[in-house]
Structure 1
Amino acid sequence: MYKLSAKIWWSIRFVILGCLGFAVAVAQTSVPDGGSLGGNVSNRATGNLLEGASVDIPKLGRGTSTDRTGRYVLQNLPPGVHEVVVTYAGLDAVRETVSIIASGRATRNFDLTSDVYQLAEVRVSGEREGNAAAITAQRNASNVKNVVALDAYGNLPNMSAGELMVRLPGVSGQLDQEGNVVAVMIRGTDPGLNRVNVDGNLVSNVGGFGRNFQTHSLTGAMFDQVELTKGHLPDQSADSLGGSVNLKTRSPLSIKEKRRVNYSVGARWAAPFFEQSPMRKEHPIHPQTNVGYQEVFDFGGGQRNLGIALTGFYSENVNSPYFYLYDYQATTASPAYIWDYRTYSQFNNRKQTALNLKTEYRISETTKVILTGIYNDALEAFDRRYTARFFSNQTIATTVGGVPTGTGAILPGFTEDVTEVRAVAGSNLQTTSVLNSFFNRTRLAGIGAEHRMERWEIDYDTNYSQTHNNLAAGLNGPGGSLVAVVPTIGWRIDASNPAEPVFTQTAGPSIYDIASYRNNVVFTKRNNLRDVDVLNAKINLLYRADASFPLKFKAGAAYREHKVAEGSGQTRWNYVGTAPLTPLTNDKMYDGVRTGRAIPFVETSAVTSQLGNPALWSEDIYNRETNKFSGTRDATEDILAGYLMADARFNRLGVVGGLRTERTEVSGFGYIRVAPATVAQIPDPVARALHDWSHPVTNQGSYTKSFPSIHFTYDVRSNLRARASWSTSFGRPPFGSLVPAATISDPARTVRINNPSLEPQYAKNIDLSLEYYIRPAGLISIGYFRKDVRDYIVTRDIGIVAAGNNNGYDGDYVGYTLQSQANSGSAKISGFEFDYRQQLTSLPGPLKGLAVSANFTLLQTEGNYGGTTQSSTDKIVDFVPESGNASLSYRRGGFGANIVLNYTGRYLDAFSSDASRLSYRASRAIVNAGVSYQFRPQYTLFCDVLNVFNEPQRLYRSSPSRPSQILYNNPAVTFGLSGQF
């Protein structure tokens, strides 16, 4: 269990006590002689209290906007009768007169509506309001950002937050083999260089030493909106090179009624009328359930001052992907033979349980306390994977009189599609049977407060989150990974249709007989732990100056501790038995169903019980002991930040600017290997592992960076806003670089060490955009941005290992080249972004139920990226030059329908200096569709289809004519019943 240090506890106490003292001091200041006006703004149709609604008194030039609970306060107003104007996107403006008396408080609540809502059902109205709320938040922002409502694109097939993130302009998804969006690339930058927050704070995540946030680890059911910030303000952390994503939860006080319950009970179904893998057909349907409860109470003498929101979620996200993989001769000339051919089948059931509790207590008109908690479990108890790999040496056989001779593996006469391999040494079949598990447990607890007065606003919070991961071998450890080899076989592959290759064995031991699988049989059981802990604490103070124009000053400080620790208990066993491997799995492979080929795979869950028999298995004790050292490491990052900023409004022109400074201190712990002893020198494997690896090392480093920014908005017209922004941001070095590590290559005579003093990659950003807001709720925006990035992280030679026992390696590796990471190089990233969203309520008759949206991003880059030569767009890994989305939805009466398209253009997946080894991901367009029918507000039937056209993930080598991987995730159907009480 991770324990908070005394230093951290004192930091938290200092912040909380300082904030409370300041709040009391401000609260005791004198009350102005003028009167005040307060109340809330709501949507009459949905009962939601509206955040971001504008409340203005035009003649006085006074105005404000509602907070997250729909409340507003205008203080120090002159006595008399004043006209108040309330506006909100998608709703009709309201004008009313109010009477203000000296030192008195007037209360006026406003219920807004529109013709769009008057005959609409709750679910339809809710979706429209969600879109309007997102557009309002984007319009009110003083910096460049995109905001989208969680329900903007209908039901999310997997209820993953990542599925919604990729709908935003400038965002592309990184997929795993199961087709899940596991990370996001923002404006062409690597996922590890961007940041994902929950309600403004970093949350611990499954990534461990990788900084990329695993977006499928948290359900989207907990959130109300997704914000994408592209031009950072000083009050936001600057550690997002491309942009930062914030997942926002809804305020428990944001409903007008006393209680609200919403639910969705459904299932994910592998429908038989779509192509499915055999294992998926045997397990076709799994639950997907979400329940939300929200209630407002009168507490402690107050009225509607305590709100509680609880969200519960459970799903089983079952995937059974399969793919074919090809690898080709290392040449760009044609033809090129196929020397490596694989088939892969997987079945995984990812069970996720999540609870999100949020409580808000309004102590007084000016003070609110917030409590939050998240319980999230994602369990993969039995992840089954089966791989058959046919491979050979990359040599072409010579022939004498038409008869092949020598050891060459590839027979002459091959074409781009057809290759025949000889049964010579190195021509093998390697099978891998895997049964592993992954248990992810995330917990979060937080407390904060807000004080909102006439001139002063102060907010502060602290939260602690922990993620515990166990990477094991199945539930209770019955599984593992078994590798077996059939040597010296001949085979022929015809990949004329790479999606349905034709394979024939031509020579050697039968690959269909388990008795042939006796060479190099290795069984590995993983048992690894990974813990991630994140502590956040921050305070913000805002002051509204008494000036002839709106002027605000803001200052604040933040502290974060981020700790990652890993440990390994992995073991390895070698098969020494003489009998054929047993037992065989009963799982049916997709490859076997399509071709009739029945390659035997061992049931790994039964192997564990055999490990105690020395006549069958022998443990590699040295491997077990060395894993204890090589797999044990930890790193800690302490960050202290402070900022100052000002926000002014000059009629149509708004200006926000300031400076943020962050101090980062890092430390890491790990074990370094020295020159290994031989078995003759130290026969005992345990003692030999201690000699080789028991050398603990601690690293430390630090850096301080400042981040100025300035942002302009200009209202060309009431519905046309121009933006210009100059800001700075950075991407932190990988966590792995903080850990002491030495990678030894004896053939290359190199020692590569980590550098804990690496500095972040720094970017200067320019953003220009023009936004046109369409009544009742829509927008058209076009933007241009440019990033000048420097201090890329590269590996370089830094010296030669000296002689002597004090050379850092106990006198070993003398004369080896010493290598380490360093900051070097630069690049420019630029692009255009287009975004269009509109509810077509102005169309006649039934057509007014239509809504459309589309966005498109076009990127390019150029720079040396730390290298010695210039690289451009198609030579940068994970740089997606084209991406976009489109959707069409329809609502009329109780009927609803939608179709959503997500497009990702071709991009480089893996780089090589050899052009023939460049690996690209082909462009991909995914189409999802859904229908629904609402009988009453309490009951709506829905049905959605994911990946309607079964579009696979496709990779290729150097040219699209050489497909290297075709991975099918297959369509899925979600259906069920949802509603609101």
Structure 2
Amino acid sequence: MTTGAWAVQEAEADLGSVTGRITDSEKRVLPGASVIVEDLHTGVTTDINGYYKLPVLKPGTYTLKISYVGYAPITRKITVTDKKSQVNNFVMSEGHELKEIEVQGALSEQRRALQMQKSGMGLTNVVSADQAGKFPDSNIGDALKRISGINVQYDQGEARFGQVRGTSADLTSVTINGNRIPSAEGDTRNVQLDLIPSDMIQTIEVNKVVTSDMDGDAIGGEINLVTKNTPFHRVLNFMVGTGYSWISGKPQWNLGATWGQRFFDNKLGVMASASYQYAPGGSDNTEFEYDTDDDGVVLKEIQARQYYVTRERQSYSLALDYQFNPLNKISFKGIYNRRNDWENRFRVQYKDLDEDVQEITMETKAGADNTKDARLERQQTMDFTLDGQHYIGNLKIDWAASYSRATEERPNERYASIKYKDIDVASGLQDVGGRQPYTTVAIPSISDEGWEFDELTNQDEDIEENEYKARLNFELPLAKGRFGNKLKFGGKYTYKDKSKDVSFYEFDGEEMLGDWRKQVSYKIRDGFMPGNFYPINSPFISKEFLGGLQLYSQYGDEVYEEEAGNYDVKEQITAGYIRFDQKLGSKLDATIGLRVEHTSLKTNGFNYQAWEEAELDDAGQPVLDEDGEPQMQDRESLTPTGEYKHNYTNVLPSVLLKYRVNDDFNIRASFTETLSRPKYSALIANKTFNLADEEATIGDPNTEPTTSFNYDLSAEYYFKSIGLVSLGLFYKDIKNVNVETIGYYTGEELGLRGNTNEFEVEQNMNAYDARIFGVEVGYQRDFGFISPALKCLGFYGNYTYTHSTTRNYNERLGITDGDDVKMAGSPEHTANASLYFEKAGVNVRLSYNFASEFIDQMNTGARALDRYYDKVNYLDLNASYTWGRDTKFTVFAEAHNLLNQPLRYYQGEKDRTMQVEYYGVKVNAGFKINL
């Protein structure tokens, strides 16, 4: 079965054309409904808007059977006449099992999601917007963590990146309406999921097995976000909410609206949505740095940080479609998302704890006065697509042209720090072997003469990525009946242009700040969550004073080392595919496909160099010092790398089987090959430096893409009372895994002439090959099968186990095949559990999410310093009450992060904390109206 996209109005068309739309009694469309011509043993499924089109039929009478999860099946006879197009719309009613309970909107949406999941050829998890609304999730990332096999990573307490089936976020693609969207950040291809509010999306599709007509860069899978489609009837709803964050002590605001309508005898459809969120927040943070010496692992540094963050999201979407006749339609979809983060950070830093004497620095992070004296990070994504679907007889032609853009702006990001040198901090160290080391040595008074100015900087950052895409597909049924088949083929062209531009200046603090001791403030929130023994209530240069400084470039010194990370990348991907779908009787379907993707890459960047040379006088002779030796001076340069090219071609076969044991029981098996391209920053032939912290990064334009052979076997049983139980096994054989590593090199080895200091070097490399074996189990159902009185209670849960092994190590890792090394980004256990109550408009749900620890970054110089992302336990609670028939009203309340789960990294051993960051509990409440 396949999906069609066609209109419903009668018009002149080819011989015996039958089209229509499937809806329920509430006029909600039913995507994925099965429409079978029983006389011919052939059929189709409805598209996401509920439309279907049967293959051209000879004149005669036929019996149609329409089925859908949770609805009573419909059997209807139709008559096909010569040279006539006919429209057969069907309205489905709830099945017998559901008539005893009240079917609410969210339950109907759950049925749609399960039907789409059931009818598809690939292995897909589908979550509808209303179903996601049962959980207290404000953005798409938080909604994704409820799906089987998905883990998420957090930023400021919100889910930012998604990981699928034990693979890192780099190995999963995120698309909007099937188009991969660019990343707003400069050092990753990953899409920032916290940019997109969950109420802007109609459906989330997690495709764990991809077919040849889908993009091949999906080793973990593809997360497809389907924006709101044009409606079948008028839609108008509003949402107003507020909330409170304990860590900020300030209220939050949420607004949303959606309007949709059809015009001109239902030919033109319009759907518009808007969402606004304003959320003051923040975090309490401690960080620790370790090193190794002859005695083992030693503590080098302690940091205590306090973040004040205000996050504002705006999102707007528009969908249009025009149906010329039953066989021709064009559509437009667009979505724009913007997130503003205003951030201030105050940091206490104890340095050189492994030396005889130490140093304390106090740093303020801020912005200019026109950005509220806070660092503004503005990230934007947008995607606009024009597409069309046409029929010539049985031949379906669909095309699309799209433009996507992502940007990140950080204007006037400012840092000012003061320092106190030659102080004995180490003598007061406590709990050094524990999770929260600290010192009992007090911070000296700001009036102490030991304090001095350290650093004053200002930087501007602009990142942008533009993508242009075009695709053309053809689909032709070749035979009907029990052994029917069809052929699909097409191509896609993608052009990407990404650039990063940072300008960085350092200023004379004594000149710019004047008497800085008069410009300090004491920033403190009550109850610093890592512990009150960290002196975060210390003097910092005030953000208002720092924001008011006129830090123009002509007054400062350009810092070349910070600008060496600038780059420009151009990438072209040309793809073609063929897909053949074959029915092998009434129960078994097979899909065989082949996709070829050719990638052409051009990169340009900069290299930083620093050295010493003799100072020359006007005559060109060396200037001598008092000892008669040449007087040396520091020199540096920033030179273009020149253009580097890298071309490669991937051939990606796929075989999928689906066996229907009965109408409610499916077994699936598949083999696919997929790939993942390296992130752009890793492909630049450059070296970047932070000389003060003795850190560097290295890029390599010859880094190979990661490829994977994927094997899947799954079974799923759908309950007639809405719900399912599923079991899946998967195995991935992955080549050339790209991993972020840390190594150690001298400045000389990195090209810094005369610099013998040891640098900590970050580098992405093809580190190893890996194998992943996994098991997924899912269950969702109400308890009505125990007793009819328990239909109002239910359980939603899933668990995924993954076991990863690595081999064929890059020699630079210093690892042998006998070592037990897990794949980076691969948690062994992920689980979700949710208990819910639904009756008479009341919906209450307690939700739990768990993911075990996993290795995040490898240290090539000392495996004891490998970085791990620690396990997480999240508990959330939400409740709502809905009433009304034609006009529905809903009040809701939500509580997030009830366990105050911190973000935590550790190095090597679980008790060796690298970073721990707390966000506190947040609550929301609001009101919705659906007219």
Q: Do these two structures clear the TM 0.5 threshold for a shared fold by scoring above it?
A: yes
* Distance in 2 of aligned mates of 1:158 and 1:689: 53
Residue 921 (structure 1) aligned with residue 872 (structure 2): no
* Distance in 1 of aligned mates of 2:634 and 2:929: 61
Residue 933 (structure 1) aligned with residue 881 (structure 2): yes
Query: Which among 495, 503, 516 is matched to residue 561 of structure 1?
Result: 495
Contact (CA 8 Å) 1:428, 1:489: kept in 2 or not?
no
Equivalences for residues 386-405 of structure 1 within 5 A: 386-394=346-354
- RMSD between superposed Cα atoms in Å: 3.9
| Counterpart position of 2:593 | 658
Structure 1 residues 559 and 689: CA distance shift in structure 2, 3 A: farther
Contact (CA 8 Å) 1:666, 1:738: kept in 2 or not?
no
* Partner SS, residue 240 of structure 1: coil
* Distance in 1 of aligned mates of 2:551 and 2:262: 61
Contact (CA 8 Å) 2:217, 2:675: kept in 1 or not?
yes
Structure 1 residues 961 and 736: CA distance shift in structure 2, 3 A: closer
* Distance in 2 of aligned mates of 1:825 and 1:453: 50
Contact (CA 8 Å) 2:40, 2:480: kept in 1 or not?
no
Structure 1 residues 515 and 288: CA distance shift in structure 2, 3 A: farther
Equivalences for residues 854-869 of structure 1 within 5 A: 854-864=797-807, 865-866=809-810, 867=813, 868-869=815-816
Shift of 1:619: 5.7
* Distance in 1 of aligned mates of 2:838 and 2:493: 47
Unaligned runs of 5+ in 2: 1-5, 367-373, 619-632, 742-749, 756-760
| Counterpart position of 1:262 | 237
Residue 977 (structure 1) aligned with residue 927 (structure 2): yes
* Distance in 1 of aligned mates of 2:64 and 2:227: 30
Shift of 1:586: 5.5
Residue 51 (structure 1) aligned with residue 31 (structure 2): yes
Contact (CA 8 Å) 2:56, 2:394: kept in 1 or not?
no
Residue 633 (structure 1) aligned with residue 562 (structure 2): no
Equivalences for residues 518-597 of structure 1 within 5 A: 518-548=451-481, 549-576=483-510, 579-585=515-521, 587-590=523-526, 595=532
* Partner SS, residue 224 of structure 1: strand
* Distance in 2 of aligned mates of 1:682 and 1:839: 87
Query: Which among 887, 896, 899 is matched to residue 834 of structure 2?
Result: 887
Query: Which among 707, 721, 725 is matched to residue 762 of structure 1?
Result: 707
Code of the aligned partner of 1:567: D
Residue 827 (structure 1) aligned with residue 770 (structure 2): yes
* Partner SS, residue 92 of structure 1: coil
Shift of 1:663: 0.9
Residue by residue over 1:356-385, the C-alpha shift from the partner in whole angstroms, topping out at 9 and shown as x without a partner, is 0010111111111011222222112x3011
Equivalences for residues 320-339 of structure 1 within 5 A: 320-327=282-289, 330=292
Query: Which among 342, 352, 377 is matched to residue 313 of structure 2?
Result: 352
Residue 777 (structure 1) aligned with residue 722 (structure 2): yes
| Counterpart position of 1:138 | 117
* Partner SS, residue 194 of structure 2: helix
Comparing 320-329 with 160-169, which one deviates more in the overlay?
A: 320-329
Contact (CA 8 Å) 1:350, 1:378: kept in 2 or not?
yes
Unaligned runs of 5+ in 1: 1-22, 271-275, 396-406, 408-424, 797-807
* Distance in 2 of aligned mates of 1:671 and 1:558: 32
Contact (CA 8 Å) 1:202, 1:536: kept in 2 or not?
no
Code of the aligned partner of 2:42: R
* Distance in 2 of aligned mates of 1:191 and 1:493: 37
* Partner SS, residue 692 of structure 1: strand
| Counterpart position of 2:621 | none
Shift of 1:966: 3.2
Code of the aligned partner of 1:930: N
* Partner SS, residue 135 of structure 1: helix
Code of the aligned partner of 2:883: F
Equivalences for residues 45-84 of structure 1 within 5 A: 46-84=26-64
Q: TM-score w.r.t. structure 2 length?
A: 0.86
* Distance in 2 of aligned mates of 1:682 and 1:310: 70
Residue 239 (structure 1) aligned with residue 213 (structure 2): no
Contact (CA 8 Å) 1:662, 1:706: kept in 2 or not?
yes
Contact (CA 8 Å) 2:259, 2:273: kept in 1 or not?
yes
Shift of 1:552: 0.7
Query: Which among 138, 143, 149 is matched to residue 159 of structure 1?
Result: 138
Comparing 191-200 with 59-68, which one deviates more in the overlay?
A: 59-68
| Counterpart position of 2:746 | none
Identity of aligned residues (%): 21
* Distance in 2 of aligned mates of 1:810 and 1:503: 36
* Distance in 2 of aligned mates of 1:592 and 1:639: 50
Query: Which among 198, 216, 219 is matched to residue 194 of structure 2?
Result: 216
Residue by residue over 1:304-325, the C-alpha shift from the partner in whole angstroms, topping out at 9 and shown as x without a partner, is 1211110100001332111233
Contact (CA 8 Å) 2:494, 2:572: kept in 1 or not?
yes
Shift of 1:965: 3.5
Query: Which among 935, 960, 968 is matched to residue 918 of structure 2?
Result: 968
Query: Which among 734, 739, 763 is matched to residue 684 of structure 2?
Result: 739
Q: TM-score w.r.t. structure 1 length?
A: 0.82
* Distance in 1 of aligned mates of 2:152 and 2:789: 36
Shift of 1:756: 2.6
* Distance in 1 of aligned mates of 2:696 and 2:140: 41
* Distance in 1 of aligned mates of 2:98 and 2:449: 71
Shift of 1:81: 4.3
Contact (CA 8 Å) 1:644, 1:658: kept in 2 or not?
yes
* Partner SS, residue 321 of structure 1: strand
* Partner SS, residue 791 of structure 1: strand
* Partner SS, residue 223 of structure 2: strand
Residue 343 (structure 1) aligned with residue 293 (structure 2): no
Shift of 1:260: 0.9
Shift of 1:822: 6.9
Contact (CA 8 Å) 2:350, 2:361: kept in 1 or not?
yes
* Distance in 1 of aligned mates of 2:446 and 2:909: 37
* Distance in 2 of aligned mates of 1:106 and 1:758: 56
Structure 1 residues 900 and 28: CA distance shift in structure 2, 3 A: closer
Shift of 1:286: 1.6
Contact (CA 8 Å) 2:891, 2:927: kept in 1 or not?
yes
Structure 1 residues 333 and 722: CA distance shift in structure 2, 3 A: farther
* Distance in 2 of aligned mates of 1:429 and 1:234: 56
* Partner SS, residue 585 of structure 1: strand
* Distance in 1 of aligned mates of 2:690 and 2:407: 33
Bigger strand fraction? 2
* Distance in 2 of aligned mates of 1:540 and 1:43: 31
Shift of 1:746: 12
Comparing 590-599 with 544-553, which one deviates more in the overlay?
A: 590-599
* Distance in 1 of aligned mates of 2:783 and 2:416: 55
Contact (CA 8 Å) 1:521, 1:574: kept in 2 or not?
no
Contact (CA 8 Å) 1:861, 1:872: kept in 2 or not?
no
Structure 1 residues 59 and 791: CA distance shift in structure 2, 3 A: same
* Distance in 1 of aligned mates of 2:338 and 2:230: 23
Structure 1 residues 517 and 542: CA distance shift in structure 2, 3 A: farther
Equivalences for residues 352-751 of structure 1 within 5 A: 352-380=313-341, 382-394=342-354, 407=356, 425-434=357-366, 435-452=374-391, 454-473=393-412, 479-485=414-420, 487-490=422-425, 492-495=428-431, 504-505=440-441, 510-513=443-446, 515=448, 518-548=451-481, 549-576=483-510, 579-585=515-521, 587-590=523-526, 595=532, 598-610=537-549, 621-623=557-559, 627=562, 630-650=564-584, 651-674=586-609, 676=611, 678=613, 680=615, 692-695=637-640, 697-742=642-687
* Distance in 2 of aligned mates of 1:962 and 1:742: 30
Contact (CA 8 Å) 1:127, 1:151: kept in 2 or not?
yes
